């Protein structure tokens, strides 16, 4: 009995190792990519900063002192002040919260909607696929920023509406990606076997096809966050996103464009924050794609 228990434990351990090994191997491969680790470090840094902003920001993002407007960076104001005498360092910190919030939740919304539409189109095919695919094609026919502007123009300029617009314009990217994955997965033998035994479509979709389509969604989602942050900044710069006095990075750039020569620091630091955040997500996304995309391993 003791020998049988020992053998059973060995078998269970081997099974567990086989189950966890793909993700463990993916993490090990990811750690070998130095640029991907740099991107991960940048992303973690900005997330950490966004969480602890109220604890480390020396001033409130609304605090004004007109007697100190357009001051150069100093020990009192590390990033200088803007045209209302507000501390740029504090506003950049609070802006990290806003940009990451817009990036994460807009991509989450577009990923959920796009994944659902992509699964339905790829699995059922025929007229369902034709209708959904044509909707995607129409949306992709417009430049993304113009489509976002159109959505915000209909809903009204605000940060929340900018988030909705960004989520809407990214739906086709996820939808087409998931659709192509479903078209290949549904031809697998285990899917045909599930149909043969009478398994319902809902169970097949959400218990078999969706789990096998998660990998490209993760990669696309990481890269899409970087794009969403840029789009939110663009809408803010055009005055169609966050409204004053919200310290959104794109809005800060728009408010400071008149002081490019007189006070270049008012544009430099928000622009640097956008660049570093987008760079971090792009590097991390490229690393995930190299690790999780089978075609990159060939």
Per-residue pLDDT of the chain (298 residues; tens, 9 = 90+): 444 344 444 444 444 444 456 667 777 777 888 888 999 999 999 999 999 999 998 988 888 888 888 888 988 889 988 888 899 999 999 999 999 999 999 999 999 999 999 988 888 878 888 999 999 999 988 888 889 999 998 988 888 999 999 999 999 999 998 888 888 877 777 777 777 777 777 777 777 777 777 888 888 888 899 999 999 998 888 888 888 788 889 888 888 888 888 888 989 999 999 999 999 999 998 888 887 765 555 4
In the prediction, which pLDDT does 11 show? 42
Per-residue pLDDT, 5: 42
> Which residue in the block uniquely carries the two structure tokens 């900044």?
233
Please indicate, yes or no, if residue 62 is contained in any of the structural domains. no
CA distance 104 to 221: 9
**pTM value?**
0.83
Report CA 59 to chain centroid distance, whole Å.
Answer: 29
Residues 157, 53, 226, 40, Cα dihedral to 10°: -170
- Looking at residue 6, what is its pLDDT? 47
Residue 39 lies in a domain: no
Q: Is 193 in contact with 186 (CB distance < 8 Å)?
A: no
**115 falls within a domain:** yes
Asked whether residue 108 is domain-assigned, the answer is yes
**Maximal C-alpha separation, the chain:** 85
Domain holding 275: CATH number? 1.10.3720.10
Distance CA 230, CA 238 (A): 12
What is the per-residue pLDDT for 105?
A: 93
Query: Within a domain: residue 58?
Result: no
Domain of residue 289, residue span: 79-297
Residue 211 pLDDT = 78
Q: Flag whether 5 is in a domain.
A: no
Question: Would residue 61 count as lying in a domain?
Answer: no
Cα(185)–Cα(174) distance, integer angstroms:
16
Query: What domain count does the chain have?
Result: 1
Tell me whether residue 124 is in a domain: yes
């Amino acid at each position: 009995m003791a020998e049988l228990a020992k053998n059973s434990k060995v078998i269970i351990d081997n099974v567990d190792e086989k189950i966890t090994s793909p993700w463990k191997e993916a993490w090990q491969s990811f750690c070998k990519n130095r640029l991907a680790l740099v991107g991960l470090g940048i992303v973690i840094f900005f997330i950490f900063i966004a969480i602890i902003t109220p604890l480390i920001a020396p001033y409130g993002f609304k605090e004004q002192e007109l007697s100190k407007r357009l001051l150069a960076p100093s020990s009192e104001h590390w990033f200088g002040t803007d045209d209302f005498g507000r501390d740029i360092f504090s506003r950049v910190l609070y802006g990290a919260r806003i940009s990451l919030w817009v990036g994460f939740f807009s991509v989450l919304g577009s990923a959920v909607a796009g994944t659902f539409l992509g699964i339905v189109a790829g699995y059922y095919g025929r007229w369902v696929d034709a209708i959904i695919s044509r909707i995607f094609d129409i949306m992709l026919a417009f430049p993304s920023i113009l489509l976002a502007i159109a959505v915000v123009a209909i809903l009204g300029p605000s940060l929340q509406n900018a988030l909705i617009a960004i989520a809407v314009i990214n739906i086709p990217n996820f939808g087409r990606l998931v659709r192509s994955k479903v078209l290949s997965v549904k031809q697998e033998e285990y899917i045909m076997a599930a149909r043969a035994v009478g398994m319902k479509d809902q169970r097949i979709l959400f218990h078999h096809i969706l789990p096998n389509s998660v990998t490209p969604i993760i990669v696309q989602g990481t890269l899409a966050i970087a794009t969403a942050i840029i789009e939110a900044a663009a809408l803010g710069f055009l005055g169609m996103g966050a409204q004053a006095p919200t310290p959104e990075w794109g809005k800060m750039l728009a408010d400071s464009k008149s002081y490019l020569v007189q006070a270049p620091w008012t544009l430099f630091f928000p622009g640097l924050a956008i660049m570093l955040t987008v760079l971090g997500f792009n590097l991390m996304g490229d690393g995930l794609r190299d690790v999780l995309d089978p075609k990159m391993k060939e």
